[in-house]
């Protein structure tokens, strides 16, 4: 039921919705490799407002991961942001001390990568590792941290959170590990989650489930996402905006539907052509309609991919 006071708050909310502040703003970022004395990434820009999903696609070595690492403030040793800026919640990260940035990371911008096992300690129970993140990042006491970790395991749709809590990495499948890692990544309530090829190593069904989970988190918590993938279908399913990278350049950028429906750059056209047989059209159509349709299209995509993989 709508009350008068709720009505009274509406105009302010509406105003907020029309001009949301970006949680993460990447502005014309150039990345330089001091060791090889060359520029690797030649200017990437995007804004992430709450609930927005930006996709980065492109061939291997095009600079997708370095761009993500720049946004996370964890570039490899001899790399630096040589021009442009990364702003998190209005603060230019270049102005932060490593200590300040570490505090911000996890609680504002978090990430999951391709190989979940390597980010977890094989000799500790996975639940305890999530609880530890909670204790360090949010200051929860032991018992509370355990309770919250169980909630997170449930939120990432692991069927028996109590059981999984007490298990070790070797006891879990790749899909389960990726869910555990997502649980750890969202433990401190970040506003941005960067998923760099987070589903690439998983089989298509599990991949679809994880993407579905990310879409759900976005819906339910307003989490903004950066999704890096080789797979245009992944991007079509999830992203509002897409950047197509090639050799450190953004060759095309725009609303996902516009870019994939009418690619302007030859390289994007090539990517789209490669995906014709994956049912990208139906996927795109489904994204704009009701949920059941999207689900059907997703099933069709999975089936098509499975057939293609079997043939290969």
Ligand X SMILES: Nc1ncnc2c1ncn2[C@@H]1O[C@H](COP(=O)(O)OP(=O)(O)OP(=O)(O)O)[C@@H](O)[C@H]1O
* Residue 66 binding: pick among ligand X, Mg ion, none (C-beta 5-8 Å cut-off by kind): ligand X
123 binds, among ligand X, Mg ion, none (CB under 5 to 8 A by kind): none
Closest contact distance (angstroms) between CB of 194 and ligand X is 12
Residue whose structure tokens are 């992944």: 234
Binding partner of residue 63 among ligand X, Mg ion, none, CB cut-off 5 to 8 Å per kind = ligand X
Shortest distance (Å) from residue 224 CB to Mg ion: 20
Which residues from 59-78 bind Mg ion, rule CB under 5 A?
64-65
- Partner that binds at residue 40, options ligand X, Mg ion, none, CB closer than 5 to 8 Å by kind: ligand X
Q: Is residue 217 within 8 Å of 198, Cβ to Cβ?
A: no
Q: Which is nearer to ligand X, 19 or 60 (CB)?
A: 60
- Phi/psi region, residue 112 (left: phi>0; alpha: psi -120 to 50; beta: rest), is beta
Shortest reach from residue 157's CB to ligand X, in Å: 27
Binding residues for Mg ion, rule CB under 5 A, total 2
CB of 242 to ligand X, least distance (A): 14
**Distance of alpha carbon 290 from the chain centroid:** 23
Distance of CA 236 to the CA centre of its chain: 14
Q: Which residue, 113 or 165, is less far from Mg ion as judged by CB? A: 113
Shortest Å distance, C-beta 226 to Mg ion: 12
Please identify, using beta-carbon distances, which residue of 59 and 293 lies nearer to Mg ion: 59
Which is nearer to ligand X, 40 or 233 (by Cβ)? Answer: 40
Looking at the Cβ atoms of 196 and 241, the one nearer to ligand X is 196
DSSP assignment of the chain? ---HHHHHHHHHHHHHHHSPPPSEEEEEEEEEETTTTEEEEEEEEEEE-TT-EEEEEE-TTSSHHHHHHHHHT---TTEEEEEEEEEETTEEGGGS-HHHHHHHBTTTEEEE-S-GGGGS-TTS-HHHHHHHHHHHHH---HHHHHHHHHHHHHHTT-S-HHHHHT--GGGS-HHHHHHHHHHHHHTT--SEEEEESTTTTS-HHHHHHHHHHHHHHHHHH--EEEEE-S-HHHHHHH-SEEEEEETTEEEEEEEHHHHHHS--SHHHHHHHHHTGGGTHHHHHHHHTS-HHHHHHHHHHHHHHHHHHHHH-
Phi-psi region of 246 (alpha: psi -120 to 50; beta: other; left: phi over 0): beta
> In the bound complex, which residue of the shown chain has the CB atom lying closest to Mg ion?
65
Residue placing its CB nearer to ligand X in the complex, 64 or 218:
64
The residue range among 56-64, 160-168, 199-207, 209-217 that interacts with Mg ion, by the rule CB under 5 A, is 56-64
CB of 76 to Mg ion, least distance (A): 12
Q: Out of Mg ion, ligand X, none, which partner does residue 49 contact, by CB within 5 to 8 A per kind?
A: none
Q: Residue 64 Cβ, how far from Mg ion at the closest point, in Å?
A: 5
CB of 100 to ligand X, least distance (A): 24
Answer yes or no whether residue 229 interacts with Mg ion by CB under 5 A: no
The footprint of ligand X (CB under 6 A) covers 40, 58, 60-66, 76
User: Which residues in this chain contact Mg ion in the complex, by CB under 5 A?
Assistant: 64-65
């Amino acid at each position: 039921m709508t009350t008068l006071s709720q009505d009274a708050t509406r105009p302010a909310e509406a105003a907020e919705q029309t001009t949301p502040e970006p949680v993460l703003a990447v502005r014309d970022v150039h990345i330089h490799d001091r060791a090889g004395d060359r520029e690797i990434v030649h200017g990437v820009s995007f804004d992430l407002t709450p609930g927005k999903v930006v996709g980065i696609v492109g061939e291997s070595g095009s600079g997708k991961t370095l761009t993500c690492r720049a946004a996370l403030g964890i570039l490899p040793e001899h790399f630096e942001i040589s021009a442009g800026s990364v702003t998190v919640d209005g603060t230019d990260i270049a102005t932060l001390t490593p200590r300040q940035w570490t505090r911000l990371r996890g609680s504002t911008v978090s990430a999951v990568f391709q190989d979940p096992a390597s980010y977890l300690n094989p000799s500790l129970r996975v639940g305890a590792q999530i609880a530890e993140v909670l204790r360090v990042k949010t200051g929860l006491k032991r018992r509370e941290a355990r309770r919250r970790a169980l909630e997170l395991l449930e939120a990432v749709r692991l069927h028996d959170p109590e059981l999984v809590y007490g298990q070790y990495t070797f006891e879990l499948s790749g899909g389960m590990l990726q869910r555990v890692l997502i649980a750890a990544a969202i433990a401190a309530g970040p506003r941005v989650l960067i998923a760099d090829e987070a589903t690439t190593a998983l089989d298509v069904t599990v991949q679809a489930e994880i993407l579905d989970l990310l879409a759900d988190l976005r819906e339910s918590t307003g989490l903004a996402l950066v999704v890096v993938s080789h797979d245009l279908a992944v991007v079509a399913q999830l992203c509002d905006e897409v950047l197509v990278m090639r050799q450190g350049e953004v060759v095309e950028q725009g609303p996902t539907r516009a870019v994939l429906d009418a690619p302007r750059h030859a390289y994007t056209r090539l990517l789209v052509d490669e995906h014709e047989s994956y049912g990208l059209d139906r996927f795109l159509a489904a994204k704009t309609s009701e949920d059941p349709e999207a689900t059907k299209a997703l099933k069709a995509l999975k089936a098509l991919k499975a057939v293609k993989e079997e043939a290969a």
